[in-house]
Each structure stands twice: as C-alpha cells, then as structure tokens.
Chains A and B, each alone.
Chain A
Amino acid sequence: MSEVIKITDYSWKYINTKTPAVESINLTVEEGAFIGIIGPNGSGKTTLAYSMDGLIPGQYNGIKKGTVEVFGKEVEEYDRGELQKLVGVVFSDPEAQFTAMTVEDELVFGMENIGLSVPEIQERLDWVTELTDLKNLLEKPPYEISGGQKQRVALAAVLAMMPKILILDEPTSMLDPISRMRIFDVLAKLKKEKNSTIIVIEHSLENLIPLADRMVMMSDGELVLEDETQAFFQKTGFLFEKGAFPPGLIQFFYELNQRNLYNGDYPLTVAEASLKLNEMIKKGK
C-alpha cells in the first residue's frame, strides 16, 4: 500500500489566536485505508481535515509549520482545482455547502468545475444517484428535501468528482439514526467496491467502528492516539481520560475488565459482543 497523505510535524495556528489549533501532528494515510478521527469539540479535527484538502492554508490566514503532503506533493504546490480532483470534502452542515438550485445542478457543479465532458458527467451522475439513491430527487431544490437526503446530496456531489481521497467532517451530526446508517451504507459500498481512501471525523461511533481500519484520537490540538481499530479501543481507559466515549458495548466490556471479569479483546460490534457473552456464559463467568 502506498502513502497518499503524509503529515509531518505539522502545526497550524489561526491568526489572532494564542494557541495552535493543531500541533506536532504526524500521520500517514495509506491508499484504500478507512480512517476514523474522533475527539472532543475544539480538539482540531476540522482543522486537520481542512489541512488535508488545502482549505488550510488556502482559505485561512495563520502560521503553518511542518508539511502536509498529498500524493507526495505539498498541498500549497497544487494548482487551483487540481487538489480538489484528488481530495473531496463533505462538511457537517449540508445546507451550507449547496451552491445550486436543484439537486441535479448541485451534483454536476463539481464535475463541470473539474472540466468533465457532458457524456462523462452523465455517466457519473447515473452512478452516483444510483449509489446514493437520489434519482427521484434530481429536480428538487436541495434546500427543500429532508436532512438525511441533504447530506446524501452533499456526499454525492463530492463522490461524483471521484476524488481518490474522501474526507467527511461529521457528516451525520445533524441526522437521525436511520439517515446516519444510510450514509455509512454508502461509505461501506465505496470501501468495498471502489477501495477508496476514506477519512471520517465522527462523534457517533457505532456506525464508524465496523468500517474503520484505523482510528485517530485528537485532543487539545494534538494527535494523542493512533492505532488499528481493535488495538485503539483496547485503550478505552485512555480514551475516557481524553474525553472520548466509546460505544456502550465497549464500555460494558471495559467495566467487566476493570472488575477482572473479562480480559480479552473488546468486541467492536453487537454481533461480536453477543458471541463473547455467550462464551462467557458457557464458561460460567
């Protein structure tokens, strides 16, 4: 697997702030990886995401130290529009990112920007509307559809540009559980069928954990923990300490562990937890 993003000793301080938003970040993302980033509000997750898409330093004033390389090239070295072909970002508030009058216009806007021809746009539009189940909404104004549909439009608009790396900044923060699941279903399909590199910043971990290959924990602007998903959640005590709360089932097995009733890997899904509990019952624990 080749490295697609390499962040080395990276710090960013917004102008007129006293402390850096992110500091001394070292992170490598490999091609096809699914990375989950968690951390409390104000821990620097969004700043990190914007840094990987070139929005920082492009759109913001501040002081940068270290390097952020995408496909071996510093983000500032890319021409306008070139980096956006490689890295797509979905923001947390879908409505704020709508720039067009109909869902269809919204979906084709990015494709037109990167210079695709009409047949290419048509082909990608068919693919992305099928993937995100938006075929019936193409004629509708994007601000008149439901919250879940809006976020699927925002995701589809970025997917249609077929970026090699997809970054989602709290994509489900405004959604109900079913809409959340539908977004993660789309991400699961992308991971399976397209082997896309996906980075998701998310507070709701139930849907994220089954898909994530690696997890990253941010706290006070620093990357405090990074590991494979299973190993990451084995450090649940540390996560608690840093203000992150793993899903209830991990907390439950952590509690059992603290009472010396369990000492194996914490299950990451309900199915795994059910199996482990069965085993424990059989063993008479």
Chain B
Amino acid sequence: MNKTLLGYVPEKSLIYAVHPFVKLFFLLVVSLFPMFVSAPDWNIILMLVIVLLMWVSRVNMSTLKIYIPVAISMGTIILISYTVLGGTHPEFELVAKVWGVNIYWERIRDAIIVYFRVLPMIFTMVFFLSTSRERDIIVSMRSVRIPFVVTYITAMALRAAGMVLEDFQIVRQAEQARGFDPVGKSIAYKIRQYVMYMVPLFALSLRRSEEFTNALVARGYAFTGEATKVKRADYILTHYSYKYFDYIFIFLVSVSFIALLVLRYGYGYFSVDQSWLIDLLRNALSVRGG
C-alpha cells in the first residue's frame, strides 16, 4: 500500500500509471464543471463518474463514509440558509409556512442546485487527495515549469502542516500525562484549555523553524534555488514521463470542458429548466403544499 494524502492506495493501482500533472489537471478542470451546470441531475452523474474512478483506482471506498456527516451537515446548513434565513419574497411560490417562516419553492430549488454543485467539487478533491502523495503535487507543479521557489514553499508548507500536527499530539499527550482530562467538561472550559496547548506549540514552532533553517543552509539551499549560481537539476522529474494515455486524458478532460461551455452557453443545456429531478421535486412539493 502507498500512503496518499487521505489514506492508502494499493501499489498496483492503475492511478500510479498516470502522470501526477494529469491528476492535478483533472482536479483543476473537473472542479469547474459544476459551476456551469445548474441541473443537479448532471452533477449527480459527475459524482457517480468520480466514484467510479475511485473504484477503478482502488481507493478504499469505506473511507468515503467519513464524508457522510460532512455532506449531511453541509446540506442542512445550505438548506437552512436558503429557506429559513432566506427572507421574505412575495414574488416566490409559497410551499409551506413553518412556525411563521415562509418556505418558498425557489429557495428550496436554489439550495438543491448549490448543494449539488458543491458536492461534486468535494468529491473531485477527495479523489485527488486519495490518489496523490505530497510528491505528486510537487512533481505536477514542477512539470509545468512553476518556479522552484513556489513549489518548494508548497512542499515546506505541506511538511510544516504535518510537523505542527505531530507537535500538537506530543503537547496534548504531555498535558494528559500530567493529569489533564477534558472529558465531560464544558465547551468553554475546553476552549480555555486549548489556549494552554498553544504556548508550547508556538515555542516548538520557533525552535523547529530555527532547526529547519539551519538544515537548509547546511545543505546549500538558497531561496532562488541556485546557491552556487548554476542551473538546478530536477532529478525527481526524471522518474516521471508522459505516456500516450496521459495526453488522451488531458485531451478528453479539455474537450469535455469546452463541450460543456458550448452546450451550456451555445445551446442552453444543463439549465435548471431541463432538470427532471427538480421537476420531480416540484411536483412532490406542490402536492404537499397544495
């Protein structure tokens, strides 16, 4: 198994045959798809395609369960924001009145559209993080000639995030070893005590920064990446090369995006009026509201 940013993927997964840039390209472009699609039907299909890709890539599908509470709470927040907190709109179609609050059909519809726009974006991100290692992100950035400084700062940020989490665990265990037990205490108490973690964590971060800087200087690092005024070789990139199917993927994703834009703005496809799911819901609610 290879560790990825969000879990583990078997070493023999097909996803490793794909160049890291293709994965990043997929993330960046496919994440845009839902922004141009109003009909939730198509966004649900996109989600299914991404789940299928996860399955093909042998991502452990049981890890998806952890996102169910996130999806439910996010959906609830969006729905409440649009309906209960959506304000009064006499021009909208009233579906129900709950404890004096008017619930309009248009606001429910908009909430559903937004929800099914956000969800595929999250799925795309989960797919990317489940199939990529930190190195893939760096390699994909370097392969499109993003300056070394930018890629290196990204790498250091990823590394630093891991270190802070590790340090946090150490500080927390040290506090617990000295009898600190927040179980059963009020949230206010817990928040107050969390401040206690911050002081040693801050001190540790300062020390880490000093050690990290020393390590960089000791290994001849300069911010420009050219400490000795010579061109810097990128050895890691020599492990990666584009295969014919990488170009096919890039082509397919690009063509799909262009086709989406043409169909959306040229022919009016993917609009909410063409959504059978919205029609179905509208009919269901009209019956209840009627």
Write the B177-219 contact mask toward A (1 if CB under 8 angstroms, else 0): 0000000000000000000000000000000100111111111
Contact with B along A242-280 (1 / 0, CB 8 A): 000000000000000000000000000000000000000
Main secondary structure of the interface of B (DSSP, over half): helix
Query: In the complex the two chains form, is A111's CB within 8 Å of B235's CB?
Result: yes
Q: Provide the bound-state CA to CA distance between A125 and B155, in Å.
A: 21
B220 at the interface (CB under 8 A from A): yes
- CB neighbors of B among A171-189 (8 A): none
Contact partner of B218 (CB less than 8 A), chosen from A55, A100, A112, A118, is A55
- How many of chain A's residues touch chain B, expressed as a range? 35 or more
Cβ of A227 < 8 Å from any Cβ of B? no
Partner of B220, one of A58, A59, A81, A101: A81
The stretch of B28-36, B42-50, B225-233 that contacts the partner chain: B225-233
Q: Contact check, B211 vs A93: say whether CB atoms are below 8 A apart.
A: yes
Closest A residue, CB atoms, query B212: A96
B residues with a Cβ closer than 8 A to A are 2-3, 133-135, 138, 155-156, 158-159, 162-163, 166, 208, 211-222, 225-236, 238
Task: Please name the 5 residue pairs, one residue from A and one from B, whose CB atoms are nearest each other, closest first.
Answer: A81-B227, A115-B230, A97-B215, A96-B211, A110-B219
Q: A114-B228, A157-B219 are in contact. List 17 more A-B contacts (CB 8 A).
A: A55-B214, A80-B222, A80-B227, A84-B219, A89-B214, A91-B211, A93-B211, A97-B215, A99-B156, A101-B155, A101-B158, A114-B220, A115-B230, A118-B233, A118-B238, A144-B3, A158-B219
A63 sits at the interface (CB 8 A): no
Task: Please state if A100 and B219 are interface contacts (CB–CB under 8 Å).
Answer: no
State the CA gap A112–B155 with chains docked (Å): 16
- Determine the residue in chain B with the shortest Cβ distance to A90: B218
Smallest CB separation, A105 vs chain B (Å): 6
Contact yes or no, A104 B236, CB < 8 A: yes
Question: Considering the chains assembled together, what is the distance between the CA atoms of A158 and B208 in angstroms?
Answer: 19
Residue on A nearest B224 in the bound complex, by CB: A80
- Within 8 Å CB of B133, what residues of A? 101-102
B228→A98 contact, CB < 8 A: no
Closest CB-CB distance, B58 to chain A, in whole Å? 18
A224 within 8 A of B: no
Cα-based distance from A18 to B159 in the complex (angstroms): 36
Report the minimum CB–CB distance from A56 to chain B (whole Å). Answer: 10
A117 in the interface (beta carbon within 8 A)? yes
Contacting B234 at CB < 8 Å: which of A80, A112, A115?
A112
Decide if B214 touches A59 in the complex (CB within 8 Å): yes
Let me know if A108 is at the binding interface, CB within 8 A: yes
A101-B135 in contact (CB<8A)? yes
Select from chain A the residue with minimum beta-carbon distance to B208. Answer: A96
Kindly state whether residue A232 has any CB partner on chain B within 8 Å: no
Looking at chain A's contact residues, is the secondary structure mostly helix, strand, loop, or mixed? helix
Residues on the A chain within 8 Å of B159, using CB: 98-101
> A104 vs B231: C-alpha distance in the bound complex, in angstroms?
20
Contacts of A104 in B (CB 8 A): 236
Given contacts A98-B159, A101-B159, A121-B235, contact A84 B217 (CB under 8 A): yes
Q: Which of B214, B215, B227 contacts A114 (CB 8 A)?
A: B227
Mask, A51-89, CB within 8 Å of B = 1, is: 001110011000000000000000000011110110011
Q: How far is the CB of A161 from chain B (nearest CB, A)?
A: 7
- Is A113 located at the chain interface by the 8 A CB criterion? yes
A122 near B: Cβ within 8 Å? yes
23 contacts between A and B (CB under 8 A): A59-B213, A80-B227, A81-B222, A84-B217, A84-B219, A88-B218, A97-B212, A100-B155, A101-B134, A102-B135, A112-B232, A112-B235, A113-B220, A115-B226, A115-B228, A116-B233, A118-B235, A125-B235, A141-B3, A143-B162, A144-B3, A158-B219, A161-B219
- The answer for the CA separation of A55 and B26 in the assembled complex, in Å, is 44
A266 to B155, CA, bound (A): 52
Q: In the bound complex, do residue A101 and residue B138 qualify as a contact, i.e. CB atoms below 8 Å apart?
A: yes
With A112-B235, A122-B235 given, is the CB distance from A85 to B220 under 8 Å? yes
> In the bound complex, how far is the Cα of B232 from the Cα of A99, in angstroms?
17
Q: Is residue A109 within 8 Å, beta carbon to beta carbon, of the partner chain?
A: yes
A88→B214 CA distance, assembly (Å) = 12
With A96-B211, A101-B133, A113-B222: A59-B217 Cβ-Cβ less than 8 Å: yes
Bound-complex Cα distance A125 to B162 (A): 26
Question: Are A115 and B232 in touch, CB under 8 angstroms?
Answer: yes
Return chain B residues, CB-CB under 8 Å to A88.
218
User: A113-155 toward B: CB 8 Å interface, digit per residue (1/0)?
Assistant: 1111110011001000000000000010101100000000000
Which residues of A lie under 8 Å from residue B138 when comparing CB positions? 101
> Which A residues touch B134, using CB under 8 A?
101, 141
- The distance in angstroms between the C-alpha atoms of A85 and B166, with both chains bound, is 32
